[in-house]
Amino acid sequence: VCSSDLAALMASGREALTAQKYEAAVNALNQLLLLPPNSQSRDAQELIGVAWERAGSPARAKTEYELYLRLFPQGEGAQRVAADVGGLATVG
């Protein structure tokens, strides 16, 4: 898979998320995440959690955020995701 294909999948996921088409966002981001680790994996892992959260599936969002923290424990994204998980901890 070439980098332009990765970028196109990420753009598709971001656009769907912005348009509140969460199922489409999850599908595009999942396609990215099913590929071998690549330059878009970190962002896709965070955004799929956001998509599930906005879709009203906090349990799925929490699973994706926790996976993000296992895969990418360092950096600015990890701080954001840890805060997101903390926010979900209050959800049933």
* pTM reported for the whole predicted model: 0.92
Q: 32: closest CA among 62, 2, 63, 10?
A: 10
Q: Which tens digits make up the pLDDT trace of 5-59? A: 999 999 999 999 999 999 999 999 999 999 999 999 999 999 999 999 999 999 9
User: Is 72 within 8 Å of 45 (Cβ atoms)?
Assistant: yes
